[in-house]
Amino acid sequence: MESVDYTSTFITVAPDTRAVAGVEPTGTTIAAATYSLIASDPYALRSSDVIFQVWASRHDVDASSADEWATFYAKSHACLRSSDLGKRYGWGIHADADGRLAVYAVGSDEYSSLAAGTAPDGSAVTVRAAMRSSRR
């Protein structure tokens, strides 16, 4: 199983984003489901949990099934650096030392601190950008 989890990492918005503030995604999109899971309970879920739960919900699969989890992660999957949260909607994603996630709006003080490499608890974080929407 390839890991999609990050620890002590902040995923900034993509270099080519047009977002100047965090905008909550709406509708039944993957971005909206991802945002909802992370924002509704900050630092509760890891990337692998979020990615699987969103997929399970969209495919009407029991998200608590260990067999479904194993089958899903038997193949590689994109990490949250490819999410529209950072590419389009203006949200940075912080994974704490245990890999649990929270989102921070671009332009906020918390976002700026994380983008500078400092977590809310004062620890250092690795900073990675979300993937670009277009090729250079």
Is 92 contained in some domain? yes
Number of domains in the chain: 1
The pLDDT assigned to 78 comes to 87
Beta-carbon contacts of residue 107 (< 8 Å; ≥ 6 apart): 20, 21, 22, 90
Q: Range of 37's domain?
A: 9-129
Helix (H) or strand (E) holding 80: none
The pLDDT assigned to 108 comes to 96
Is 78 contained in some domain? yes
- In whole angstroms, what is the distance from residue 13 CA to residue 20 CA? 10
- Tell me how far apart the 2 most distant CA atoms of the chain are, in Å: 42
Q: What is the pTM for the complete model shown? A: 0.92
Is 35 contained in some domain? yes
End-to-end, the C-alpha distance of the chain in Å comes to: 31
Is 4 contained in some domain? no
Is 3 contained in some domain? no
Task: For residue 31, give both structure tokens.
Answer: 């971005």
The pLDDT assigned to 136 comes to 58
The pLDDT assigned to 1 comes to 46
pLDDT along the chain (136 residues), means of 10: 84 94 95 97 96 94 90 90 94 96 96 96 95 76
Is 2 contained in some domain? no
- Are 77 and 18 in contact by the 8 Å Cβ rule? The answer is no
- In whole angstroms, what is the distance from residue 103 CA to residue 92 CA? 6
Is 54 contained in some domain? yes
